[in-house]
Structure formats: C-alpha cells, structure tokens
Amino acid sequence: MESNKRLICVSICEQTIEAIQQACVRATDLGDLVEVRLDCLDLFQSGETFHDLESLLQNIAHPVIVTYRPAEQGGQHQLDAKSRLVFWLFKRPNAEFFDIEFDIATPPSLLQFGKDMDWSRVICSYHNFKGVPPNLFHIYERMLSSPARILKFAVQASDATDCIPVLQLLERGIKEGREMIAIAMGTAGVATRILGPSRGAFLTYAALEDETATAPGQISARELREVYRLERIDQQTQIYGLTGLPVSHSVSPQMHNIAFDAVGINAVYVPFEVRDLEAFIRRMVHPRTREIDWNMRGLSVTAPHKTAVMDHLDWIEPAAQEIGAVNTILVAGNMLQGYNTDATGFIKPLTQKLGQLRDVRCAVIGSGGAAGAAVWGLTQEGAKATVVARDAKKAELLAAKFGATSDSLEGAVFAGIDVVINATPLGTLGQFESETPATAHQLRGARLAYDLVYNPSLTKFLREAREAGCETLEGLSMLVAQAAEQFRLWTGEVAPESVMFEAAERALGKK
C-alpha cells in the first residue's frame, strides 16, 4: 500500500457483529480503509462473538484497522493497560493495521516481547480531547521510540489556529521520515481532515454518515469525496474558506467547491471556525505573517467578524467602507483586500423580482451588518428605506448613516410597505428557528417579505408572511448571488450560478 495515496478511512463503531457487517459493506463503497472500533462492541470477548469477528474481518474488501480504545482516549469502555496488553498480545484478530495507544506502544512495554507482533502494521496513537497540549512536540519525540510504523495524533481544537501545531507536527514527522496521521478534532479542526492527505498524512478519518461520527468534527466520507474532492487536492491547490462562529451550518462549501470544479480551477473551500480573529488572520491568512506554508487565496467572512475584520486588512473597497462591513477577503500578493458582496447579492434577487427599485418603500428589520448592507444597497438603488429594530437608538444611528428613516419594531405594522426584509438572525436553524421578527398581523398589507436567513429555506418569518397574504423571497437567492460575486473577485471567472444554486438546494435537502 502506497503511503502517499489519498486514503479515506471510514470509522465503524457498532455494538453488534451484524451491525458492523452491514456498516462495512457500505463503508467499502465510500472509503479506502475501514476502522473497526472493537471498544464499541458489547461482550465481544465471548468465544462466539470473537469467532464471528474473525470471519467478518476476513471478508471485508478493504484493509482494516482494528482499534480497542480506552475511555480516556475516546473509547466506549474503561480499559486499563493490562486488559489492553492482554488483548493485543493474545486475542487480537487478524487485520491489516492495529491502532494501539502510545502508553502501551512505546517502550518500556510488554508489547515489545510479543514475538508475533508485526510493528509494520501498528499505528501508535495519542488522543487528547481537552485541547492541544503545550508539549505536543515533546510527546511526538517520546513516541519516536516506538517501533510502530505510523504515528497518529488527534487533539481537540477550540479555534482554527489550533490547526497550526497539528499541521506543523505533520510536516516535521514527514520530513523526519515517519509516516504520520495528524488531526485536530472538533469543528474548528476540520481543515486538518480535509487538507491532511495532500500534506502527506497517511490517511484521514471519516464517518459513514454525519450522525455516526466517532470523533468530534469528523465528517462523512461522501462529503470528503463529493464536496471537497479530497483526491484532487495537492500542494498547488488554492485554498479558500469561510471564517466565522459558527460555520458548520453553512452551505458555502457545497456551493464554492462545485463552482471550482465546474470552471476547472484547482481550488478547495474549507470552513474555519474562528474565535480569535486577530490571531487567525495573523497566523494563518496574512502572507507576511502566516505560520503555515499553504496557497491561501481568499476568505468569506460571516458573523460575528464582518466588522472586526476590517482592522486587519491592508485595503478595503469604498463600498465596504461605507457599509462598515467586509464579507470577502482577497489575498493579492502580500496584501489582504476587503470587499462587501452582501449588498449586491441582496439587491440582485430583489430587482429580478420587482424590476427597478426607485421609490419602492422598504422596511429593513435589524441593525447589524446584514441590515447595513441592505440599507446601503437600497439607497444606492433609490429606494425609500426605513430601519426597524427593537433597539430604536441603534435603528436611528444606522438610518442616519445612510440617509434613511427609522422606527421601533415594538408595535410596528407594515401595511402599505412594498418590501419587508428580515436582516436579523431570527429564524435561523438552531436556537432561533422558532422565532420571527414580525408576525402575520404586523405583515398584513405588505406586498413582499424577503428573508435573508436561508437555512431553513422556509422560515417562521416567511410562514407568517404567507399567512398574511404577502409574496415571499427566500434568502437562498441572496446567498448564491453574493457567493457568485465572491467567486468572481477571487478567480476572475464568471461564476456558474445555476450549479451553485442547485448545490445549495441539495445541501439544504430541497432537491
């Protein structure tokens, strides 16, 4: 087996032999290896179960990694060192690889005396579910004493910058001639799962389905292949991404990755969950200061960073300066340039629906970055905009900035308004899903309700609007329009909008 082959290992964690067998059949269609987590089995040490397991492993079409993980390293059961040693020395089933924890796979260890232990099949692994230990490289140096063929590290990431030591460790190990697996777990570490193989990792782990992930942040094998096109990523691949908190709900990876493929650009779009924005830009993005050697070319910026990111850019387009928010970063030489595509993305579906907007009466509910982009775009088109918010003072300040009027949301009614826009997060999938900034009673008499929330596609706000007899416009149209403009800024190419729209619909379960 070539160590530089792009490998996806599908992890299987089931309680019965029958369930493992069924999962393995599906896994071989999606991955290159299968990891069978024996610590998930109930009563697997019984003679009958062990016999069934041996037979099962012999009939799996792909190479198998057998894992017997203790609870403190992410397993399902309390397994002390003695019981694990007994298992690996006397009870282990035949498989292509054995994943053995570093506490018993590094000297001094009784495993050294296992005469039939083939260390060329051993993965010596270290897991830390609390974070990235400050002595990570010291742990690596200790693990170098293991005769295991492959060294594996999996540590919990709380911020995208936690990917840095993991990728640096991967690079060091490979330079020193070791076969390596290095993963930052959690949603903040997804980049290491996607980019690891292209940077020399022996494999990356994937779930059979999203709901069967065996580690935090593990994504499905199908997503790795079909969305991120893992096997096509190489050292020359241009890297783009989404920075925000959270980012896991976004369908931007589905849209941009399929667009790159449709146009024939060697690029990948990756989510970056960022808490410390300054550190992320300085350490991972800016070409003058970043600590990773990679082909980072641009970013989408989402909440809560659209305004704060402006302090970390070298140049910002005048429109974004006026709006007071940046949602797009372009790496141009040694500079970071900021743009706002939200405003044009917001206006395009509206003009397609209504035609020209001069003197059209619009109410924008909200006072944040999305509301600012909407009001700026409307005033540029000559519409009559009113900012409506729970905080009347914030509404007044935003309205004054763009020459609009303002009102309080409390008790507001929208009869006679041409367009009512929800520019708040209310209605977004998750904790705000059951909320709406306006009821059917308030919306009765308005012509069109436009929700900038796109997930779910039919929000509580739009349901209330339909009950009130309004026409509706879903947020997905804006999402695709602003993404298409980002694509043009990054690549200089016309974006395949219909392809992007269909990909977004599939991701949202609409197709």
Q: Extract the tokens encoding 209.
A: 């389905």
Distance separating alpha carbons of residues 492 and 432, to the nearest angstrom: 37
CA angle 400, 401, 403 (to 5 degrees): 60
Task: Give 3-state DSSP helix, strand, coil % of the chain, rounded to 5.
Answer: 40, 20, 40
Closest among 476, 488, 434 to 459, alpha carbons compared: 434
DSSP letter for each residue of 250-296: --HHHHHHHHHHHHT--EEEEEEE-S-HHHHIIIII-TTT-SS-S-E
Q: Which residues contact 197 (CB under 8 A, 6 or more apart)?
A: 6, 7, 203, 204, 230, 233
Question: What sign has the CA pseudo-torsion 243, 247, 252, 253?
Answer: positive
CA torsion 4→6→12→18, rounded to 10°?
A: -100
| 51 Cα distance to chain centroid | 40
Q: Are strands 315-316 and 471-473 parallel, antiparallel or unpaired?
A: unpaired
- Alpha carbon of 108 to those of 113, 146, 149, 152, 464: distances in Å? 10, 9, 17, 19, 68
460 is an active site residue: no
| 28 Cα distance to chain centroid | 24
Select which of 306, 353, 401, 460 is catalytic: 306
Closest among 379, 304, 326, 371 to 486, alpha carbons compared: 326
Residue type, 410: E
Closest among 469, 434, 463, 468 to 451, alpha carbons compared: 463
Closest among 423, 378, 433, 430 to 401, alpha carbons compared: 378
Catalytic center residues: 306
